Amino acid sequence: MSIRKKLFFLLLAFSLIPLLVVSVISRQGILNLGQAQSIKLRSGMIDILRAEMQQSAVDSAKMIQQQSVSLEFALKAIVAETEDVLNDPVNGLPKVFFSDDFMEKGKQPADFKPSEPYFKIEMSGKRIPTSISLEEPVFYITKGKNYLKKDQNIARLYQLKPELKSFYSEAGTSLHRIYITLNSGLHMAYPGHAGYPSDYDPQKRDWFTQAIANDQLIWGKFIDASTNQQIFTLSKAVKGRGGKILGVAAIDVQLIELLRQNDLSSQWSSALQAFVVGPLIVNNKQKLHIWAESGHEEKAISWRAQTTKNLKVLDSSNKIKLARVIDDISKGKSGVARLPHNGVDSVWAYAPFRGSGSYVLIVPERVISEIPDAAADQILDLSWNLYIAVGTAAFIILITVSLVAFLGSKKIISPLITMTNAAKKIAEGDLSVNVKIDSTDERKTLADAFNSMIPKLQDHLRITKSMELAQEVHNNLLPDVSPEIDGLDISGISISCDETGGDYFDYYEAPAGAGLGILLGDVTGHGVSAALLMATGRAHLKHASGHNASLPSRIADVNKQLCLDIGDTGRFMTLFCMEISPDNSTATYVRAGHDPAAIYNPSTGEQRELMGDPMLALGIFDESEYADFKVELSAGEIIFIGTDGIWEARNTTDEMFGRKRLDKIIMESAEKPAAEIQNLIINAVVNFQGEMEQEDDITLVIIKVNHLNKGA
């Protein structure tokens, strides 16, 4: 029996009871119904809104991560260009602008004028725009080294001007400055600007010393010497021939601009606050160090100041819940939590975006609960109105009470029954349901909210099915089984960090009976776009493997085809290709920008890296030439070919797995079959990462030379 009929017969049965008793009993039943419905509705809607808020944080973190990766890639490209020009011969010095030229009118570049993004902050907090030149870089000479004004490296660095202008115009407002400092003290920055302090020495700045000491890309937070703005600096050492460090190239980034570009206040509320934070130990306690925040008030800080001494942390009065949030962020997890912020009960949504950093959204709980609270109050109001109607009807004759009860219960309960039936159909998989409520009050609003959820469910199912299909296609492109070759034990595997990946490996029969061919490639990035590029490269490689040309010629031909396909995308594919002779005694290989393979001899403990000559990855330069190299093989040796997703895997302390752990596993398990060695490596990487998510695709091929076929 329906709720409407039950309500009708209940009211009818008690209509003859004294009016007071009828009124009390009816009121209690109706109010209980309204409260139960309002509580259920409020709880469900809050769960949906919290999930959407967490998804907003995840999506925003991914966007900032992509922008950070783009800036890192840009810096690597700048370093590569710098290393190239520093090896170029030059003849004479061009007309350049030094820092003192920018200070004197008449000597400044023609386009030297104030720019809004470049400002100096006074002690009062007022911003004063400073001037820059987008046409000319500035050269700065450390005090006491004026002889560097005749240094030929000025001419070499000046050749980078077109590339710096191009990088700057494409990077957007988050890019603040690009500069290069050589070990001699010569310093060039773009855009050109004035304002260098008289005692400024770029070689003593942490971004310079840390890049030199660590020989890797460094992220750091500093104060810009010319504007006193807080900026984030990416720096990397510049090397010459033989690996000698010649200096440092760096990029200044205004991380706050990335937050402004991703403003979500229009989606949620003007009360929303966005932060980029990272865990940090302060006084033996773990805190959330604020790297950047939207809408923050900037203050004047001396460029000599150490920003770590003026830490600003994200705090809450609920220390227990805050500790859980800090623990999640430290482990690179995403989530949502309810805890106070600045004395206001709030909802925190957070997601990792690079390294130990996390993107955090904080919205007052009142913003999240406004709509559910309003809907719940509306249901209670309807219940109260119904109670008044029933109480009034109790004073009317039996027929009038019956009529009012029947019509009133039908009108009020019918929309709820309609939505309940629709919810059952959705649970059974019918997403074509559409609830139509003939009303202009809050019930219509509730029905519209119900209908708006259905397209979102349809989109989610469509995307899920599409990704499942993409994953199936990606897996079908990889070999199902390893080839069975007399004297060789071969096993390969590829594990993507997303549904699809950009790693690739395959086997083929070398032309003219030249033995077994093994291919292993790594496309920049991962996900669907990398998988599409991998499929393109695989098709070209498959086609080339059937030609009778030499191995370098085939690789060069594939490179030309890839350049035609992806030359303007900025993506590329590294490749390691090896062909083992039919008697298993020799191997010929080509290394196109990929990490070297390694050969292990367990009996002697010797390890050989197949370095070859450095050659460009595929898809960068269509005229690239490639050379092959030959290596002798012995029975009992093990060949390892893999991608950097293995040794660059990180654990919760940001430690890398490394090549030494890999070497140890291979040497200690040399007696095992290739498939077991492969599984031991994969299990070791997974156990090492712990709760950390896999950040890159993992691909490897193990080849054991069990015996040589001298008669082949």
pLDDT tens track for 26-81: 667 766 776 776 677 667 766 776 777 777 777 777 776 777 788 888 889 999 99
Q: Mean pLDDT across the stretch 327-335?
A: 87
Residue 409 has pLDDT above 70, yes or no: no
Q: How far apart are the C-alpha atoms of 359 and 336, rounded to whole Å? A: 12
Residues 366/360, Cβ–Cβ less than 8 Å: no
Residues 576/520, Cβ–Cβ less than 8 Å: yes
Q: Mean pLDDT across the stretch 695-700?
A: 90
Residue 465 banded pLDDT, cuts 50, 70, 90: low
Per-residue pLDDT tens digits for 382-391: 767 776 776 6
Question: Would you state the pLDDT for residue 275?
Answer: 80
Question: Would you state the pLDDT for residue 147?
Answer: 92
Residue 408 banded pLDDT, cuts 50, 70, 90: low
The helix (H) or strand (E) run that includes residue 493 is strand 488-495
H-state helical runs in 19-85? 19-85
- Range with the largest mean pLDDT of 217-226, 297-306, 320-329, 361-370: 320-329
Q: List the structure tokens of 367.
A: 């913003």
Q: Could you identify the residue written with the tokens 């040589």? A: 708
* Secondary structure of residue 508 in the 3-state scheme: strand
Residues 291/277, Cβ–Cβ less than 8 Å: yes
Q: How far is CA 194 from CA 102, 138, 150, 313, in A?
A: 5, 8, 21, 33
Question: Would you state the pLDDT for residue 260?
Answer: 59
Residue 647 has pLDDT above 90, yes or no: yes
CB count in 10 Å sphere of residue 148 = 18
**For 262-271, 318-327, 588-597, which range has the lowest pLDDT when averaged over its residues?**
262-271
Residue 292 banded pLDDT, cuts 50, 70, 90: confident
Q: How far apart are the C-alpha atoms of 73 and 79, rounded to whole Å? A: 10
Percent of the chain with pLDDT over 90: 32
Residue 266 has pLDDT above 60, yes or no: no
Question: Would you state the pLDDT for residue 79?
Answer: 92
Q: Identity (one letter) of the amino acid at 102? A: F
Work out whether the CA dihedral 533, 535, 537, 540 comes out positive or negative.
negative
The helix (H) or strand (E) run that includes residue 528 is helix 528-545
Q: How far apart are the C-alpha atoms of 108 and 112, rounded to whole Å? A: 6
Q: Mean pLDDT across the stretch 499-521?
A: 84
pTM over 0.85: no
Mean pLDDT score across all residues of the chain: 81
CA atoms within 13 A on the CB side of 320: 0
Higher pLDDT, 478 or 378: 478
Q: How far is CA 221 from CA 197, 251, 255, in A?
A: 19, 12, 10
Question: Would you state the pLDDT for residue 475?
Answer: 64
**For 129-143, 283-297, 480-494, which range has the lowest pLDDT when averaged over its residues?**
283-297
End-to-end CA distance of the chain: 85
Q: How far apart are the C-alpha atoms of 228 and 243, rounded to whole Å? A: 35
Q: What pairs with residue 131 in β-bridges?
A: 114
Edge to edge, the sheet with strand 175-182 lists 97-98, 138-141, 186-190, 175-182, 245-253, 230-239, 218-223
Residue 467 has pLDDT above 60, yes or no: no
Question: Would you state the pLDDT for residue 707?
Answer: 92
Q: Mean pLDDT across the stretch 589-601?
A: 94
Residue 307 has pLDDT above 60, yes or no: no
Residues 507/515, Cβ–Cβ less than 8 Å: no
Question: Would you state the pLDDT for residue 16?
Answer: 54
Residues 512/548, Cβ–Cβ less than 8 Å: yes
Residue 331 has pLDDT above 90, yes or no: no
Question: Would you state the pLDDT for residue 433?
Answer: 74
